[in-house]
Amino acid sequence: MSETSPPEDNAETSPAAVPAVPDEGYAFLNEEAVQHMVARAKATGSFSELIRTLGKIFSDYCALKQSFQRERAPRPPIRDGAPKEETRAQTEEDKDIDSSESRRESLGSVDSELDDGIIDLTPDIDALRRSYTILFELEEQDGSKPAVRPVVNTVPSLCRGLEMDFVSSRLNINDPGLINVIVFVMELPMLEIPDLSDVLPSLCNLITKFPMSAQARFSRIMAVLLRDNPARLQQYVYTVQQLITTRLLSGVFRLGYIVNEDSLVCDATRFLRILFAVDILAGDMEPRLVYFVENEEDESDVVPDFVLNNDDDEPRLPPGYSKLDPLFVELGIDTLDCRKPLIELDEFYNELLSDQLLIEHDYSNYREGNPSEKFSFLFCPFILTPSARIQALNLDNRIKMSNHRTRSYLSSLMHGELLNPVLKLRVRREHIVEDALVNLEWVALENPTDLKKQLVVEFDGEQGVDEGGVSKEFFQLIVEQLFNIDYGMFTVDEETQSYWFNQNSFENDAQFSLIGIILGLAIYNNVILDIRFPMVVYRKLFGVRGTYRDLLDYRPTLARGLHQLLMYSEPDICDVFDQTFRVNYIDVFGNYLSHDLKAEGDGIRVDHTNKVEFVELYADYLLNKSVERQFNAFKKGFDMVTKDSKLTKWFSPEELELLVCGQEDFDSKGLQQSCEYDGYSADCEVIKWFWEVVHEMSDEEKKQFLQFTTGSDRVPVGGLAKLRMIITRHGPDSDRLPSSHTCFNVLLLPEYSSREKLKERLLKAISYSKGFGLM
By three-state DSSP, how is residue 97 classified? coil
Answer yes or no: do 36 and 136 share one domain: yes
Within a 10 A sphere around the Cβ of 342, how many other Cβ atoms? 25
Question: pLDDT tens digit string along 304-315?
Answer: 333 333 333 333
168 lies in some domain:
yes
Residue 498: other Cβ atoms inside 10 A:
19
pLDDT at position 105 over 80: no
Is 145 found in the same domain as 41? Answer: yes
pLDDT of residue 441: 83
> What DSSP assignment string belongs to 694-726?
HHHS-HHHHHHHHHHHHS--SBPTT-GGGS--E
Compare 98 and 641 and report the one with higher pLDDT.
Answer: 641
Question: What is the rounded distance in angstroms from the CA atom of residue 385 to the CA atom of residue 350?
Answer: 7
| Cβ–Cβ < 8 Å for 757, 736 | no
pLDDT (average), residues 691-711: 85
The answer to whether residue 418 sits within a structural domain is yes
Domain assignment present for residue 245? The answer is no
d(CA 762, CA 758): 6
| CATH code, domain with 674 | 3.30.2410.10
166, containing H or E segment: helix 148-167
pLDDT at position 417 is 59
Give yes or no for residue 709 having a pLDDT over 60.
yes
**How far is 10 from 26, CA to CA, in rounded Å?**
27
Together in a domain, 513 and 595: no
Total of domains in the chain: 4
Q: Do 524 and 555 fall into the same domain?
A: no
Task: Choose the final residue of a domain: 188, 207, 226.
Answer: 207
Question: Residue 527 pLDDT more than 60?
Answer: yes
Is pLDDT of 732 > 70?
A: yes
Q: Which residues are catalytic?
A: 743
pLDDT at 717: 67
Distance separating alpha carbons of residues 337 and 351, to the nearest angstrom: 26
Confidence (pLDDT) at 157: 87
> Where is pLDDT greater, at 531 or 410?
531
Calculate mean pLDDT across residues 545-565: 89
Q: What is the DSSP string of 403-451?
A: HHHHHHHHHHHHH-PPP--SEEEEE-GGGHHHHHHHHHHHHHHH-GGGG
What pLDDT score was predicted for residue 322? 46
Task: Report the mean per-residue pLDDT for the chain.
Answer: 78
Check whether residue 523 and residue 555 sit in a common domain. no
pLDDT tens-digit map of 572-599: 999 999 999 998 887 766 778 889 999 9
What is the predicted pLDDT for the residue at 501? Answer: 92
- 654 domain residue, yes or no: no
**512 within some domain:** yes
Domain boundary residue, one of 472, 505, 535? 535
Q: Whole-angstrom Cα distance, residue 571 to residue 611?
A: 13
* Helix, strand, coil content of the chain in percent (nearest 5): 55, 5, 40
Tally of CB atoms within 10 A around 553 = 16
Do the beta carbons of residue 121 and residue 65 sit within 8 Å?
yes
> Which string of DSSP letters, residue by residue, matches 18-73?
SPP--TT--SS--HHHHHHHHHHHHHHS--HHHHHHHHHHHT-HHHHHTTTBPP-P
The DSSP bridge pattern shows strands 676-678 and 726-729 to be parallel
Domain for residue 362, yes or no?
A: no
**Same domain membership, residue 557 and residue 506:** no
- CB count within 10 Å of CB 678 equals 11
In a domain, residue 194? The reply is: yes
Last residue of a domain, one of 535, 567, 602: 535
Most confident of 23-32, 155-164, 194-203, 600-609: 600-609
Q: What domain range includes position 27? A: 1-72+95-207
d(CA 201, CA 182): 13
Q: Is 165 or 282 the better-scoring residue by pLDDT? A: 282
- 404 vs 299, higher pLDDT: 404
Examine the domain organization and report whether 474 and 570 are in the same domain: no
Torsion of CA 73, 74, 79, 85, to 10 degrees: 30
Confidence of residue 21 (pLDDT cuts 50, 70, 90): low
Among 87-96, 200-209, 620-629, 671-680, the range with the most confident prediction by mean pLDDT is: 620-629
Calculate what percentage of the chain has a pLDDT beyond 70: 78
Rg of the chain over CA atoms, in angstroms? 32
CA-to-CA distance for 242 and 247, rounded, in angstroms?
8
Claim to verify: residue 164 and residue 22 sit in the same structural domain: yes
The CATH number of whichever domain residue 454 belongs to comes to 3.90.1750.10
**What does the pLDDT look like over 200-259, one tens digit per residue?**
888 888 888 888 888 888 888 888 888 888 998 999 999 999 989 988 887 666 667 788
pLDDT confidence band for 420 (50 / 70 / 90): low
Residues 681 and 576 in one domain: no
111 and 172 both lie in a single domain? yes
Q: Which pLDDT does position 749 carry in this prediction?
A: 92
- Domain harbouring 613, CATH code: 3.30.2160.10
Residue 496, exposed/middle/buried by CB under 10 A (0-12, 13-18, 19+)?
Answer: middle
- The whole-number pLDDT of residue 12 equals 41
Least confident range of 122-131, 201-210, 356-365: 122-131
Judgement on whether residues 17 and 121 belong to the same structural domain of the protein = yes
Residues 455-495 have pLDDT tens digits of 888 888 776 555 567 788 888 888 888 888 878 888 888 88
Q: What is the pLDDT of residues 487-525, one digit of tens each?
A: 888 888 888 888 999 988 877 888 899 899 989 888 888
Q: Is residue 700 part of a domain?
A: yes
Contact status, residue 384 vs residue 646, Cβ threshold 8 Å: no
What phi and psi, each to the nearest 5 degrees, are found at residue 761? -70, -40
Tell whether 432 and 506 lie within a shared domain. Answer: yes
Task: Give the CB-side neighbour count of residue 234, counting CA atoms within 13 A.
Answer: 11
- Which phi-psi region, left, alpha or beta, contains residue 711 (left: φ > 0; alpha: ψ -120 to 50)? left
